[in-house]
């Protein structure tokens, strides 16, 4: 036993564990102001394995990953890399030591080429000039390892999220990292693209890298992980040395109590049609979309990323203009020219990007909620602080929003942000409520709460359209499912017909 090992119980406490190469953190602690987000957490990432990393939002996963990747420094604790002390003083230093992180929100310079983005900050030079040829060659090689078919010389602008993700992974490969952390890589990807990312991670693992895979999608964790670590409230809650762990067990560890994550059968819908859409078309984007939604019905919209679902609902909500087709609300043909005319007809949309399109991050919860309604909040037309607070309080109770609503929503957790965004569109009762990816980046607890809200609204007679890339979510919530692919409508299935393989079949262009 090495004299360096400490701690009474676990053999894993020392920096040298058997002969296995690993990235270890011991007793990592981090505080912000008076708030401790990590309480002495231990983590061991062995080379050649994938560690699934789960936990609710706010549990400390991002903070722990940031510390491992050199983005933040711990207030206490130590780290060891392959047996040697590891204390990076910045992400560059961590990269040089062989630890890379792939963030959830990828930022690239759109006008530069793929290769230039991959070599950002360290463009190779030859005789004083940037060596574009060598850059492109190396970029191509890295992309080839992943099986990505992207021309390294083209500009990044216009590439899909999925392609950008591949580039980001290739960028990490170039540095030949020993350890790679993936922070919710599938958050903005559809089923097929996620499969690809998982394959690429397997490639990395087989090449000997240790991979941390952070995700809320528990089936992905089961699919890819060799070991699983669960954090709760900044502490280790549970760890498994296998990837095949039941979902219920994972959820119980994340949430700390018995939790039934079962989709209940939705209430039956009423007969009268609220929204009727015929041959809705936007040139070059989607064509001939036709469907109807009844009072109290939940229509799910399924399909791969890029199938056109968001575009269709944006057109219904007035964010974009249709080129052809008719929209009828409660039997009356309506012309939706802009968002305010859609609102007037009772069609409200909760957009998919809550930070970029849904909420004003610098303003408080109450101010965000009243934004579409300021003109009609009071009889006098003057908006006072008291009025805003009243709305805020009512909605907080109605939707069970925890978290300080007096501070900018920037500081709220993903789940609470989403609730504030929902509250914004429930200040007045909609006729048709469109929800675009309502539980993206939201933890399990808040997810269940949001489903409850949706079901209550349907029971109250609101016609609801839910766009979601999570098949289980769509199937669990909807009465019927509309499947789109490549801008065309492929079919509308009833709940019984909407089996996963059938939906997938229709989703593939």
Run of H or E including 492: strand 488-494
| Shortest Å distance, C-beta 360 to other proteins | 4
Q: CA–CA separation, 80 vs 215, rounded Å?
A: 24
Q: Which is nearer to other proteins, 143 or 448 (CB)?
A: 448
| Shortest Å distance, C-beta 207 to other proteins | 26
**The CA-based dihedral angle spanning residues 370, 374, 379, 381, taken in that order and rounded to the nearest 10 degrees:** 140
Q: Which is nearer to other proteins, 168 or 352 (CB)?
A: 352
Q: Of 263, 461, 244, 434, whose CA–CA distance to 347 is shortest?
A: 434
Q: Which is nearer to other proteins, 264 or 378 (CB)?
A: 378
| Shortest Å distance, C-beta 22 to other proteins | 15
Q: Between β-strands 210-214 and 50-54, what pairing exists: parallel, antiparallel or unpaired?
A: parallel
| Shortest Å distance, C-beta 404 to other proteins | 5
Q: Which is nearer to other proteins, 204 or 253 (CB)?
A: 253
Tokens 């309080």 correspond to what residue?
393
| Shortest Å distance, C-beta 412 to other proteins | 6
The answer to whether the Cα torsion of 96, 28, 187, 321 is positive or negative is negative
Q: Which is nearer to other proteins, 160 or 341 (CB)?
A: 341
Q: Between β-strands 35-46 and 22-32, what pairing exists: parallel, antiparallel or unpaired?
A: antiparallel
Half-sphere exposure of residue 178: CA atoms within 13 angstroms, side-chain side: 15
| Shortest Å distance, C-beta 465 to other proteins | 16
Give the binding site for other proteins (CB under 8 A).
Answer: 10, 32-35, 37, 39-42, 58, 232-233, 235-242, 256, 317-319, 338-340, 342-343, 349, 351, 356-363, 371-372, 374-375, 381-384, 402-404, 407-408, 410-413, 416, 424
Q: Which is nearer to other proteins, 203 or 361 (CB)?
A: 361
Q: Which is nearer to other proteins, 343 or 482 (CB)?
A: 343
Measured CA to CA in angstroms, residue 12 lies from 7, 19, 134, 165 at distances of 9, 12, 44, 34
Q: Are 49 and 227 in contact (CB under 8 A)?
A: yes
User: Apex CA 51: angle with CA 46 and CA 54, to 5°?
Assistant: 145
| Shortest Å distance, C-beta 389 to other proteins | 14
């Amino acid at each position: 036993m090495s004299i360096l090992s400490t701690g009474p119980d676990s053999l894993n406490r020392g920096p040298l564990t058997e002969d296995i190469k690993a990235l270890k953190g011991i007793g990592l602690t981090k505080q912000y102001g008076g708030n401790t987000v990590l309480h002495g957490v231990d983590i061991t990432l062995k080379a050649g394995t994938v560690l699934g990393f789960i936990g609710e939002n706010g549990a400390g996963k991002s903070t722990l990953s940031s510390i491992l990747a050199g983005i933040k420094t711990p207030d206490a604790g130590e780290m060891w890399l392959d047996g040697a002390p590891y204390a990076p003083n910045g992400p560059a230093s961590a990269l040089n030591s062989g630890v890379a992180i792939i963030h959830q929100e990828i930022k690239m310079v759109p006008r530069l080429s793929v290769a230039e983005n991959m070599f950002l900050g360290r463009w190779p030079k030859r005789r004083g000039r940037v060596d574009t040829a060598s850059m492109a060659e190396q970029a191509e090689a890295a992309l080839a390892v992943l099986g990505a078919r992207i021309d390294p010389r083209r500009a990044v602008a216009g590439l899909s999220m999925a392609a950008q993700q591949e580039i980001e992974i290739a960028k990490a490969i170039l540095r030949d990292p020993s350890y790679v952390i993936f922070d919710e890589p599938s958050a903005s990807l559809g089923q097929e693209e996620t499969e690809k990312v998982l394959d690429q991670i397997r490639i990395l693992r087989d090449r000997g890298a240790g991979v941390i895979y952070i995700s809320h999608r528990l089936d992905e964790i089961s699919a890819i992980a060799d070991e699983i670590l669960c954090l709760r409230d900044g502490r280790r809650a549970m760890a498994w040395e296998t990837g095949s762990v039941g979902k219920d067990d994972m959820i119980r560890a994340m949430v700390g109590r018995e939790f039934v994550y079962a989709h209940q059968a939705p209430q039956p819908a009423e007969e009268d049609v609220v929204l009727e859409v015929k041959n809705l078309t936007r040139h070059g984007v989607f064509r001939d979309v036709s469907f109807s939604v009844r009072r109290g019905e939940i229509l799910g919209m399924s399909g791969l990323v890029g199938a056109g679902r968001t575009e269709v609902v944006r057109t219904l909500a007035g964010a974009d203009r249709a080129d052809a087709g008719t929209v009828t609300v409660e039997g009356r043909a309506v012309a939706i020219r802009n968002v305010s005319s859609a609102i007037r007809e009772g069609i409200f949309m909760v957009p998919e990007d809550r930070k970029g399109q849904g909420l004003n991050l610098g303003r408080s919860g109450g101010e965000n909620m009243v934004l579409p309604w300021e003109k009609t909040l009071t009889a006098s037309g003057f908006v006072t602080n008291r009025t805003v607070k009243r709305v805020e309080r009512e909605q907080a109770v109605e939707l069970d929003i925890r978290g300080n609503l007096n501070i900018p929503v920037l500081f709220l957790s993903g789940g609470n942000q989403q609730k504030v965004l929902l509250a914004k569109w429930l200040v007045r009762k909609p006729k048709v409520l469109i929800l675009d990816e309502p539980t993206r980046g939201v933890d399990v607890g808040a997810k269940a709460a949001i489903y409850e809200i949706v079901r209550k609204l349907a029971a109250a007679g609101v016609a609801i359209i839910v766009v979601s890339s999570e098949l289980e979510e769509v199937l669990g919530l909807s009465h019927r499912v509309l499947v789109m692919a490549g801008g065309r409508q492929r079919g509308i299935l009833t709940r019984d017909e909407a089996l996963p393989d059938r939906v997938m079949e229709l989703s593939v262009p």
